[in-house]
Amino acid sequence: MCEISIIIPVYNAQDYLKRCLNSVLNQKFKDFEAICINDGSTDSSFEILREYSKKDSRIKVIGFNQNQGASIARNTGIKEARGKYLGFMDCDDYIEDDFLSELYSKALNSDADIIKGADMKLCYIDGKIELDRQNEKIKQNKLNFWSQYTTAIYKTDFIRLNNIDFPKGLTVGEDPVFATKAAILSNKIDFAPKAQYYYMRREDSLNSRFWDEEKIKSYIKYIDIITDFALEHNITKKTNREFFERISNDILKTREHKARYNKNFYNALSNLYKRYNRKIFNYPIKLLFDASVLARAGSDLNERRGIFMVAYNLLKNFKNDKRFEVTLYLKNCFDISHFKKDAVLKDFDCLIEYFAVKGLYNEKPRLLSNPKFNKNDYDAYFSPAPYSGLEHKFSFHTFYDVIPLLKFDWFAIPEKKAFWNYYIDTINENIYGFCISQDCKKGFLRFFDAVDEKKLFVAPIASSNNFSPDKDKNKINKILDKYNVPVSSRGNYVFYLGSVSDPRKNVFFNIQCFIKFIQKYNIKDLYFYYGGLGDSELCEYLKVNLGKTYYDYEKYLVPLGYIEDEDVNIFYSNSMFFSFLSLYEGFGMPPLEAMMAGTPVICANNSALVEVVGDAALLVDAQDEDEVIQAFSEFYFNPCKKEEYIKRGLERAKMFSWEKTHKIIANKMIEVLSGKDDINAKSKISDDNGNNWARRGVSCKISS
């Protein structure tokens, strides 16, 4: 009987073995045994072991005639150990003279199943020594003890009673399996910070060679073993999340570094990753929802449009989806006092990653990280805006359009740069993107090589308001008064809503066609109402470019300026038809809203507009005057056609809702997170029951 048993597998280590054994025999602590298992060495290692065993009876030698692997050697040592505690060494490593005394002294004053020594020192052939810092991580979460198992001693009864051993047949991962099982089952891990272990990094060691099929197969087994073991032992939710996050990252890194140049290996690890995610997946999904656009808008109604309403309506639906547990995320501090007053926003917790702290003597504010924020506590990150505030393993983003790149001449240099910077800093092959239209998706694939087409999905958006037909004459008259529409300009009207001064919206051409239409048919009872910011700028442009024609028809052109949300539906509902001749749209909300309000629509036949209106609008070439005038005449002179397109529009509009948008996004997130989004990557590498392991030799060099 002794206090500590040290188990040392030995295989062809003649150049390093004496230093290892000397460091053991020089220990200040004397009550130990060193069980050395010669694993079929073909060099002089066995002779060295016998020589040392003759000098000191504490060296116990077990000999294998053939190499059986380190796992069997270590398991044999566990069976033979007579000490109250046991530990492990690799035959090319060495320890400080007080290594065992420090560990044992701590063990006497602790009830821990595992006593861990100092952070391991990594020794390179060129003499360089690095410290592998793991102990602080292990103190935070004992499941971070998956490496450096040789720097610790274990209660022998604890190891044997729990049948903790090294899995046979693995060439990769046998050590982490032992360490992980020990960590999960241990009551706690205590530390002896002065017990120093030196680990040799040799270029000819197993983990420094190229990986072949056997190692890929071994790695897959290793991941399956520790994953299943952790799931079987019901580790706590927080520990569970941290532990599985580490394994997930390890799979991705292994795929990147060990299988990059071999398609079969890459596919095998991709399939492992998907299968792994299916195993660990559970509800509710902890989602970080980027609230930057919600915070920036504040309570200003003018800002609560566009992307704000996309974010707001999606968040409203996530609130009611019990499969998700949503936390709002802000990278930096904002004034979010208005969140508490909002019916939707008030119900969410909000985490800020960095706080700005003012420095002394008027120094610039410093950013301090929030110690309570850890992105790995969350399953996924979603940004409803076209920029990213956070890098996460599962990042989902909403993409809107690439118009500044498609229509380069329409935008000022600063706008184009800002647009480019938004996306170039966000997009990479790991991002999952939701495009608001199929045309939007094509645009991103065209301009951004980093986009993975298989990770880009179409999720059409919807209107932020509940539009419906409302032809109440009292309401329209009150609203015409509100917007100061002259009595002489009231009657049947064509309606346009959107940015008025933006050349892309093509409003000048729209008005030109309208004037030529009423000129051609001598129409005196039809007006063109246009709402949106920039009407004064457009008015000046019309005066300059139409000259006398503008003044002759001025009363038929009615600028409304900014239309408040509660009034838009009335303007849509009471118009004879809606004319939208934009030259390019990432989606095209106004035509959808007009259809919802029971208004027939004339729409440009370009970009995503065709996806939105389908066959429920009269489609025209947005630059063909004759086509546009003909479309005007179809609705003005043909009441039956007008009614037909009203019905078509109302039916078409039912295809779009925030509930449907949310469903697409939420279900796709779940598919990705649960590993069900299989991209049909068929591997030629099979499991234990298969016979189709490709024998193609080495694939790529790895670092140890």
Residues 528-538, mean pLDDT to the nearest whole number: 91
Specify the higher pLDDT residue, 83 or 448: 83
| Fold of the domain spanning 2-209 | Spore Coat Polysaccharide Biosynthesis Protein SpsA; Chain A (3.90.550)
Where are the domain boundaries for CATH 3.90.550.10 in the chain? Answer: 2-209
What DSSP element (H or E) covers 37?
strand 32-39
- What pLDDT is stored for residue 685 in this prediction? 44
Residue 94 tokens read as 């060495």
609/218 Cα distance (integer angstroms): 53
Question: pLDDT tens digits, residue range 589-601?
Answer: 999 999 999 999 9
Question: pLDDT tens digits, residue range 122-163?
Answer: 999 888 999 999 999 999 999 999 999 999 999 999 999 999
Where are the domain boundaries for CATH 3.40.50.2000 in the chain? Answer: 473-653
What DSSP element (H or E) covers 612?
helix 609-613
3-class DSSP state of 601: strand
Q: How far is CA 340 from CA 293, 298, 337, 350, in A?
A: 16, 12, 6, 11
Q: How far is CA 423 from CA 394, 428, 597, in A?
A: 17, 9, 35
Please check the confidence at residue 3 and state whether its pLDDT lies above 70.
Answer: yes
- What pLDDT is stored for residue 259 in this prediction? 87
Please check the confidence at residue 37 and state whether its pLDDT lies above 60.
Answer: yes
Residues 6+ apart with CB under 8 A from 337: none
Residues 367-389, mean pLDDT to the nearest whole number: 88
Question: pLDDT tens digits, residue range 213-252?
Answer: 999 999 999 999 999 999 888 776 667 778 888 898 899 8
Number of other CB atoms surrounding residue 557 within 10 Å = 20
Specify the higher pLDDT residue, 659 or 297: 659
Per-residue HEC secondary structure of 408-430 comes to HHHCCHHHHHHHHHHHHCCCCCC
pLDDT category, 434, cuts 50, 70, 90?
Answer: very high
Cis bond before residue 284 (omega within 30° of 0) = yes
**Domain range 285-458, CATH class:** alpha beta
Please check the confidence at residue 679 and state whether its pLDDT lies above 50.
Answer: no
Question: pLDDT tens digits, residue range 512-527?
Answer: 999 999 999 999 999 9
Tokens 């600028």 map to which residue? Answer: 559
Please check the confidence at residue 90 and state whether its pLDDT lies above 80.
Answer: yes
What DSSP element (H or E) covers 157?
helix 156-161
- What pLDDT is stored for residue 686 in this prediction? 40
Helical packing angle, 213-232 and 237-258, nearest 10°: 170
Percent of the chain's residues with pLDDT above 70: 92
Q: Would you call 364 exposed, middle or buried from its count of C-beta atoms within 10 A (0-12, 13-18, 19+)?
A: exposed
pLDDT category, 426, cuts 50, 70, 90?
Answer: confident
Residues 17-45, mean pLDDT to the nearest whole number: 97
Please check the confidence at residue 379 and state whether its pLDDT lies above 50.
Answer: yes
Please check the confidence at residue 429 and state whether its pLDDT lies above 50.
Answer: yes
Residues 561-583, mean pLDDT to the nearest whole number: 95
Please check the confidence at residue 73 and state whether its pLDDT lies above 90.
Answer: yes
Residues 208-212, mean pLDDT to the nearest whole number: 68
| Fold of the domain spanning 473-653 | Rossmann fold (3.40.50)
Q: For the chain, give the mean pLDDT.
A: 89
Residue 412 tokens read as 């000022």
Residue 369 tokens read as 């990280």
CB 307 within 8 A of CB 400: yes
645/327 Cα distance (integer angstroms): 43
3-class DSSP state of 304: coil
